[in-house]
Amino acid sequence: MTNTKRRLTLFAALIIALGILASGCSLIQKTPEAIAKQKVAKVGNEYITRGELDELVNYQKGMFIAQYGLEDNYFESTDGKEMLSNIKKQLLDSMIDQK
């Protein structure tokens, strides 16, 4: 009987520990500075960071908004997200070619 209780207690503790680990992983968030330092491409010995790419993407977004009279929240729509994805790919390709 004691052995069964011990196993049951150990099993319950294991389940609780796994639950804490699973929920704790989603609580860790990167700072904006850490996100900006993430490497998105390597060209030779040089890296292109997310911050460098995001800077150009934000500039390009501003140009599209000004040129075509788009609303600020356009890039949150389905079409806008698709356009933004294409912009990111094209800009990253261009940055790689320039390095």
8 A C-beta contact, residue 49 and residue 37? yes
Tens digit of pLDDT for each residue in 27-51?
567 788 988 999 999 999 999 999 9
Tens digit of pLDDT for each residue in 51-90?
999 999 999 999 999 999 988 889 999 999 999 999 999 9
- Sign for the pseudo-dihedral over CA of 12, 13, 18, 21: positive
